[in-house]
Structures are given as C-alpha cells and as structure tokens.
C-alpha cells in the first residue's frame, strides 16, 4: 500500500527519495510524487501517474531537483482515482497558486492511511476560506495542519497535535513547513513509520527496506506520537507536546535480503527461501534438553499454565494469513482438542463478540500492520481477552500490542503474493498445536517426540519439491489461456485449496475458486464445462476417496483434472489427467508441502501470461486501510 520516504542531510534529496521509493514499490501503488526544498526557494513538487520510472524520468533520476530536504510518496488510491492531481505530496495552498508555480505551500505533506472524517473537516475548512484541488483526504489533513498553524500562531508540533486530536482514522504523516527549512515533521497513528539516523543525515520511511541501504539504526515512532526530524537528529513528542525519549533499534537483517539475489522475481526468490524460513521459525523455539527435544515458548510469553487455561481459540487474520488459520483449526482441534473458530479480521471486528473469558485470540499477520487485523486485536484486548500475535515484522504494531508474540523468522518478504511468510506461519501454528496438545495431555511423550522429529524433516522436503519445477512450468504454459480454475479439497486439503486458488488469481489474474469438495455440487458444478481446470488436493488419506469421487464428477462434465497428492497414491492417475506428487509427512503438516507446487503454478502462469509477478495490479503488500 502507500509508501513514504523522507530525507534531510547534506546530500541531494531527490535521488535518495527515488531510491527509497523504489524499495517500497512492492507494496503496490498507482502514482508517485516528490517534494523537495532548496533553502528558502519555493518547494518543488513533481508527481506522475503509474510507475515510479515515469517520476524518475521526469526528474532526470532526481538530479533535476536541487535541495537537501524532501519527502516522497507512492500512492495506492483510496479517495479519488489514480491521477497526478490526487497523487501526493499535497499542499496547503490554493490550486491556482500551484498551477502558477508560485510557492503554494506553507505546509506540504504526504500521508498513508485514511482520514475517516475528512468530509466533515473539508466542510469546516471550506467555511474558513480553503479550496481544494484534489479528491483526497490527505489534502484535507495538510490544510487542517496549516489552519491550526496559522490560526493559533503555534509551532509545527502543536499544529500537528491539534490536527491529531481532530482527525479520526489512521495516518502516518510526513510534513514540511516553509518556515522550518531543513526539518521534516512526522505524526503517526495506526500506520507504520520509522526514522533512521546516521552521522549528519536522517531518513524517514513507512517500511524498513526503503532506507536499509542508508542506515540500520532506526527509531520506531509510537502511536499518537510526533517527531521533528533534523539532519542526524530526531526529537520525539507525545500528544501533549512533551518531549519523549526513544531507544534506537538496530535492524539485523541483511540488505541482501531485500534484493533479488539472481532470481528473476522476488516471488521466486522467496519461494526458494521457504526451507530456511520454516527451519529458522522451528529452531527459534525448539530446544535440546537432557530428555530430548522440546518446544520452549518462553520467548513467546505463553506459560504452560496459560496454555492449560485456554478454553477456545479464535484465529483472526486476512488473506493468506487467514488461510493459515483455516489449516490450523483442523490441526488444533485434532491434536489439542480445543474448539477453534477462524475468522476474517474484517468480520470479527464488527460483530458482537461473545468470547469466553479464557479464550485466546490469535492474530496472524506477516506485516503486523494490516488495519483490520490490528483493529481485531484491539477489540479483543478491549474485552479483556488474552491475545497472541503470530507476526513476521519485528516492532510492528501487532507485535507491540499483542500480549504475547510468536515471531515467524521469514525475513523481509517483498513480493506482494506471500509465500515464505505463509509457510513460516504454518510452522508456527504446528508448533503451537503440538505444544498445546502436550501441555494439555492430549498426546503422550512419544507422540510429542515423533511430531517434533517429523517437523524437522519439513524444510528438506520443501527443498526437494523445489528441485522439480519444470513439469509445473510446462503445465502452466499449457493452461496459460484458461479462463477458470477450481481447487477442491476437504479438511486441510480445503485450506490448501484456498491458498492455491488465491496464489493463482492474485498474480495470474485467472479466475479461480476454492471449494470444499463436497460443496461443489450445491451450485458451483454448473460452471464446469469442457476443458475447465479442476485441481483436486488429495493429501489427507482419510478423505482421499471422497475427493477423488468429486473430481470424477467434474470430469464427467468435461473438466481437465489435476491431482495433487502424496507419493504412493498412484491410483489418482486413473482419474487425473496430470498429477503432482509431494513427499509424505504427517497428514497434519501436509499443507507445508502441497502449497509449494501451487505457488509455483501461480508463478509460472503469471510469467507465461507476461504479467508483473511481484506487483500485481490493484493489490498491496500491506493493507493498512480497512
């Protein structure tokens, strides 16, 4: 979703801003812009619709803009179509001034998030003589800052604080004031923002990769806080305008981790990083003791007593993280005998929650910033229910606010379509389920040891699967002109189907649906016709025959069948036209293996259709608006 970068220091700002925005391209955007100040000269603003490349060309890679302080933005449209007018930065001045290229801006800024009461504020500002040139909520926010700044004759921090009290919604704001050249002011609520400092230079960014080439020392600005960013120094303030102290954090990941490293796309690189992501996540909690291996959740902050007390689980998430929840429900119920409900965060947050006081709400999120997931977490906390985050991004909002955090160790994920973070989340769920089962005495010591041994084999099995990509590439080329695909499965195979189908549609734009195999004949089977691709997921031996029957029903109506199953189940070839086999593992953990060919299928379909694999249209990596 939208990206923010800022710079103040001795160097020329625009090339640094463009470099940072390029690192945020993966988040998804439809227009981009820069504002750069050169001392007292009028601020220079350049915007363009579409790819960042256009903005780079317009500004001669940034060289055409003089000035050592600036802000940049990639926008993912929420209020108003993608266009230059609606692109950020936005200014406090009138549009006419802007067009005459007089300095339109006592205040100029960029914004991530959504100002919910922008219509009401726009009206208020109109009554006070303001006019608007864009359809955005951001322009309203910037004008409101200027309104308070001038009306009360106060400084930037006080003007921002008054604005923060008045607006509802979420925001990360980066603002420059004409009267304070060389400084960038930042305000944040529910939308991520970090500030990096080095000797004599400061950077701001909505996400770490944007500035990782420049510095590893960052501050996380908290909710409802502000900052004044000067070259090489930062001062933080709370809503009362009082200065607050902050700790510098060192980013430990490698800048390499945010580069493609020889792969054509980030998605393929991240698919190949899955064995490591899964192994690292496993080893983050696996301990060797005198009596054997065991899972130690002390870093998560979940005690055995708390595990025993849990009466029900509510797994809440969005997108692929929700699919992890769907798989996890079968595993938790089967192994640990705990009732589980899995919910989309966007639904959970708006219903009357009748949660048991001993329930545990588990929020799953790669970014730790997904707006609906964060809101669901807060709702559970408000009701006094214990929360556990399964989060990949250290220091993110969900990680900081959840009562306990299980960090997945997938490293930064850049491709919009998640792969390694999904796999790491699955591993985290397995570990929790096995530990819950053991602590609650649903499984004995031997079964516990066996499950742990099996979990340790999964990274290598994923690696083996990755050696056999060619057949899927061939298959994808054959089906690259297909119109519809249906993924069917039961139980955990249904959860795998959901993820396989999402991978296909999000990057190859091929319509696909996932159906619980038994449900297909209640309507959807009417869509099956000659040549429709039906992918049957058949990793659960207890349900194998049932799903094969449903596949055969589709074949009778003309479908082309692909089967996805474990080695040994060769009878599937009696029905399927094309079969993909995965190594065997305990049925509870099959999603980790079966998802890999489906990720590859989505990837190769996207490539063979000539699409932008890492940045699919209309999608965003981190969805920070609801």
Residue 503 beta carbon to ligand G6P: minimum distance, rounded to whole angstroms? 9
370 counts as binding ligand G6P under rule CB under 6 A: yes
Residue 34 beta carbon to ligand G6P: minimum distance, rounded to whole angstroms? 26
Residue 321 beta carbon to ligand G6P: minimum distance, rounded to whole angstroms? 4
CA 519 – CA 533 distance, rounded (Å): 17
Q: Is 162 a catalytic residue?
A: no
Interface with ligand G6P (CB under 6 A), residue from 315, 318, 390, 590: 318
Interface with ligand G6P (CB under 6 A), residue from 366, 387, 547, 585: 366
CA 370 – CA 264 distance, rounded (Å): 28
Output DSSP code: residue 414. -
Q: Is the peptide bond before 495 cis (omega within 30 degrees of 0)?
A: no
CA distances from 381 to 227, 276, 359 (A): 28, 33, 11
CA distances from 170 to 114, 191, 273, 593 (A): 5, 6, 33, 38
**Contact string 518-547 vs ligand G6P (x = CB under 6 A):** ------------------------------
Under a CB-based contact definition with an 8 Å cutoff, are residues 202 and 231 in contact?
Answer: yes
Residue 367 beta carbon to ligand G6P: minimum distance, rounded to whole angstroms? 3
Under a CB-based contact definition with an 8 Å cutoff, are residues 329 and 342 in contact?
Answer: yes
Output DSSP code: residue 462. H
By beta-carbon proximity to ligand G6P, the closer residue of 145 and 316 is 316
Under a CB-based contact definition with an 8 Å cutoff, are residues 488 and 517 in contact?
Answer: yes
Helices (H), 349-491: 371-382, 397-401, 420-439, 445-466, 470-478
Contacts of 484 (CB under 8 A, 6+ apart): 510, 511, 512, 513, 527, 532, 533
Task: Determine the interface stretch with ligand G6P among 131-139, 154-162, 179-187, 366-374 (rule: CB under 6 A).
Answer: 366-374
Counting residues that bind ligand G6P (by CB under 6 A) gives: 15
497 counts as binding ligand G6P under rule CB under 6 A: no
Restricting to residues 442-471, name those near ligand G6P by CB under 6 A. none
Instruction: Give me the residues paired with residue 582 across strands.
Output: 566
Residue 31 beta carbon to ligand G6P: minimum distance, rounded to whole angstroms? 19
Task: Determine the interface stretch with ligand G6P among 141-149, 270-278, 314-322, 490-498 (rule: CB under 6 A).
Answer: 314-322
Catalytic residue among 12, 461, 505, 621: 621
Contacts of 266 (CB under 8 A, 6+ apart): 26, 260, 414, 415, 614
Interface with ligand G6P (CB under 6 A), residue from 107, 258, 328, 416: 416
Contacts of 548 (CB under 8 A, 6+ apart): 536, 538, 572, 575
623 counts as binding ligand G6P under rule CB under 6 A: yes
Q: Is 276 a catalytic residue?
A: no
Residue 365 beta carbon to ligand G6P: minimum distance, rounded to whole angstroms? 3
Task: Determine the interface stretch with ligand G6P among 29-37, 237-245, 263-271, 312-320 (rule: CB under 6 A).
Answer: 312-320
Interface with ligand G6P (CB under 6 A), residue from 270, 385, 621, 624: 621
Among all residues, which ones are annotated catalytic?
2, 621
Footprint of ligand G6P (CB under 6 A): 318-321, 365-367, 370, 373, 416, 418, 619, 621-623
């Amino acid at each position: 979703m939208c990206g923010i970068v800022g710079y103040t220091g001795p160097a020329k700002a625009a090339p640094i801003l463009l470099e940072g925005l390029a690192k945020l391209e993966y988040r998804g955007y439809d227009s981009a812009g820069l504002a750069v100040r050169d001392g007292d000269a009028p601020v220079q603003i350049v915007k363009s619709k579409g790819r960042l490349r256009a903005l780079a060309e317009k500004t001669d890679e940034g060289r055409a803009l003089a000035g050592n302080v600036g802000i940049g933005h990639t926008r993912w449209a929420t209020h108003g179509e993608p266009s230059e007018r609606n692109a950020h930065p936005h200014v406090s001045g009138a549009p006419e001034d802007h067009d005459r290229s007089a300095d339109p801006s006592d205040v100029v800024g960029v914004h991530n998030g959504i100002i919910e009461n922008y219509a009401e504020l726009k009206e208020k500002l109109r009554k006070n003589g303001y006019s608007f040139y864009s359809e955005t909520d951001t322009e309203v926010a910037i004008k409101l800052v200027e309104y308070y700044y001038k009306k009360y004759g106060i400084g930037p921090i006080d003007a921002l604080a008054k604005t923060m009290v008045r607006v509802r919604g979420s925001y990360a704001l980066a603002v420059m004031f004409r009267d304070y050249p060389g400084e960038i002011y930042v305000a944040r609520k529910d939308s991520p923002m970090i500030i990096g400092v080095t000797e004599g230079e400061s950077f701001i960014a909505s996400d770490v990769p944007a500035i990782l080439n420049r510095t590893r020392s960052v501050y996380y600005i908290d909710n409802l806080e502000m900052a004044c960013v000067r070259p090489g120094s930062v001062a933080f303030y709370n809503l009362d305008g009082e200065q607050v102290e902050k700790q510098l954090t060192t980013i430990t990941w490698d800048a390499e981790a945010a580069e493609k490293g020889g792969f054509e796309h980030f998605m393929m690189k991240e698919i190949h990083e899955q064995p490591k992501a899964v192994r690292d996540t496993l080893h983050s909690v696996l301990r060797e003791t005198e009596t054997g291996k065991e899972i130690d959740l002390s870093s998560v902050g979940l005690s055995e007593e708390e595990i025993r007390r849990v009466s029900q689980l509510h797994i809440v998430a969005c997108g692929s993280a929700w699919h992890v929840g769907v798989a996890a429900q079968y595993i938790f119920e089967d192994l640990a005998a705990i009732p589980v409900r899995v919910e989309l965060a966007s639904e959970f947050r708006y219903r009357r929650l009748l949660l048991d006081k001993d329930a545990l709400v588990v929020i799953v999120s790669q970014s730790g910033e997904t707006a609906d997931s964060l809101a669901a977490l807060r709702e559970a906390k408000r009701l006094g229910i214990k929360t556990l985050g399964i989060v990949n991004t250290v220091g993110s909002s969900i990680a900081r606010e959840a009562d306990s955090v299980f960090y997945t160790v997938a490293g930064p994920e850049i491709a919009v379509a998640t792969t390694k973070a999904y796999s790491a989340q699955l591993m985290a769920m397995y570990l929790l389920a096995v530990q819950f089962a053991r602590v609650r005495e649903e499984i004995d010591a031997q079964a516990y040891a066996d499950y742990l041994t099996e979990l340790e084999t999964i990274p290598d099995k994923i690696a083996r699967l990755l050696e056999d990509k060619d057949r899927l590439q061939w298959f994808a080329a054959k089906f690259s002109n297909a119109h519809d695909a249906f993924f069917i499965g039961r139980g955990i195979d249904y959860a795998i189907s959901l993820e396989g189908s999402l991978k296909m549609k999000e990057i190859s734009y091929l319509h696909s649906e996932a159906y619980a195999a038994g449900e297909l004949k209640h309507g959807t089977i009417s869509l099956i016709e000659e040549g429709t691709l039906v992918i049957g997921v058949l990793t659960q031996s207890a349900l194998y025959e049932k799903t094969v029957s449903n596949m055969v029903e589709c074949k009778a109506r003309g479908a082309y069948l692909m089967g996805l199953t474990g080695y040994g189940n060769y009878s599937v070839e009696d029905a399927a036209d094309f079969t993909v086999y995965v190594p065997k593992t305990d049925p509870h953990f099959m999603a980790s293996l079966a998802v890999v060919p489906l990720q590859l299928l989505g990837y190769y379909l996207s490539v063979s259709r000539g699409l932008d694999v890492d940045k699919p249209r209309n999608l965003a990596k981190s969805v920070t608006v609801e």
